[in-house]
Chain A
Amino acid sequence: MAPEAAERIAIESDADVVTARQRARALAVGLDMPSTDQTLLATAISEIARNITAYAIRGEIVLDVVRDADGRRGVRVVARDDGPGIADLERALTDGYTTGGGLGLGLPGARRLVDEFDISTTPGEGTTVTLVKWTRSA
């Protein structure tokens, strides 16, 4: 997956959450991604970006266009923070589990909305979530 263009968005406020999902949608539009998939991607970004503002206070989201071995393109989202990390990752990926007073749908929900989902976290050091939404054809 070689990146073609990268865009970095600092996530420090709820307005940045909106900016991140709008930029990602613009990238997806550029790839002719179907509008339903654009919405799924934008919604997933909203969830992981809010986790940054809610738990880590600040972080960043990097967006880029990637290409797989078959030439299919997609939007990759890397959300990074150096917040408190997640102590119990397995539970954090379970529907309904929350330590923040929300619905506990953020991470498990975001995972269902995208094609690839990866998370790495170290308590006390931070969390990185990587998402990819592929276009349906090359």
Chain B
Amino acid sequence: MAVPILKQGPFLIASIQSALTDSDVLQLRDDVMAQVTRHRSRGIIVDVTALDVMDSFVSRSLRSIAMMTRLRGAETVIVGIQPEVAFAMVQLGMSFEDVQTALDLEEGLALLQAGDLGA
């Protein structure tokens, strides 16, 4: 199922609605890159609140999105990682050290608007 991407001013908001297959995740990556170019976006929020599992593939793909958009001059913030999912990611050995995260959409937008991502 495709992830809807909304444009809000200089930012894009990708709001994941349900469990994603690996192909959905790769589609999201391609869509975000295309939209960043089309709208000359300065920041992207990926809302993962609806994800009940973030395995190594999803985590690696979100990290790739963050790295790729940074090379295009746009910062990505991942918001809404659920507490159980965070626990599982740490146990799994996933590191999100170089990826910006925020509690929810509101905090993520505030982070982008403040422009103090320091990356």
B94 at the interface (CB under 8 A from A): yes
Q: Select A105's contact among B23, B54, B93, beta carbons within 8 Å.
A: B93
Q: Of A40-48, A66-74, A124-132, which binds chain B?
A: A40-48
Q: Select B52's contact among A25, A106, A110, beta carbons within 8 Å.
A: A25
Q: Are B55 and A50 in contact (CB under 8 A)?
A: yes
Query: Taking CB as reference atom, which chain B residue is nearest A35?
Result: B84
A108 vs B93: C-alpha distance when bound (angstroms): 9
Q: Select A43's contact among B20, B22, B83, B92, beta carbons within 8 Å.
A: B92
B103 at the interface (CB under 8 A from A): no
A38 vs B21: C-alpha distance when bound (angstroms): 19
A46-B53, A105-B94 given; A39·B22 CB < 8 A:
no
Number of A residues near B (Cβ < 8 Å) is 28
Q: Select B84's contact among A18, A39, A108, beta carbons within 8 Å.
A: A39
Interface residues of A in 76-126 (CB under 8 A from B): 95, 102-103, 105-106, 108-110, 112-113
Q: Select B87's contact among A13, A36, A103, A108, beta carbons within 8 Å.
A: A36
Number of B residues near A (Cβ < 8 Å) is 22
Give the total number of A-B pairs whose CB atoms are below 8 A apart. Answer: 71
Q: Select B57's contact among A21, A40, A50, A112, beta carbons within 8 Å.
A: A50
Q: Are A43 and B55 in contact (CB under 8 A)?
A: yes
Interface residues of B in 78-102 (CB under 8 A from A): 82-85, 87-88, 91-94
Q: Are B56 and A103 in contact (CB under 8 A)?
A: yes
Q: Are B53 and A105 in contact (CB under 8 A)?
A: no
A71 vs B84: C-alpha distance when bound (angstroms): 26
A7 at the interface (CB under 8 A from B): no
Q: List 5 A-B contacts (CB under 8 A).
A: A17-B21, A43-B88, A50-B22, A109-B56, A113-B92
Q: Which 9 A-B pairs have the closest CB atoms?
A: A39-B84, A109-B92, A46-B55, A14-B21, A14-B22, A43-B88, A105-B56, A36-B84, A42-B53
Q: Which residues of B contact A (CB under 8 A)?
A: 19-23, 52-57, 60, 82-85, 87-88, 91-94
Q: Which residues of A contact B (CB under 8 A)?
A: 13-15, 17-18, 21-22, 25, 35-36, 38-40, 42-43, 46-47, 50, 95, 102-103, 105-106, 108-110, 112-113
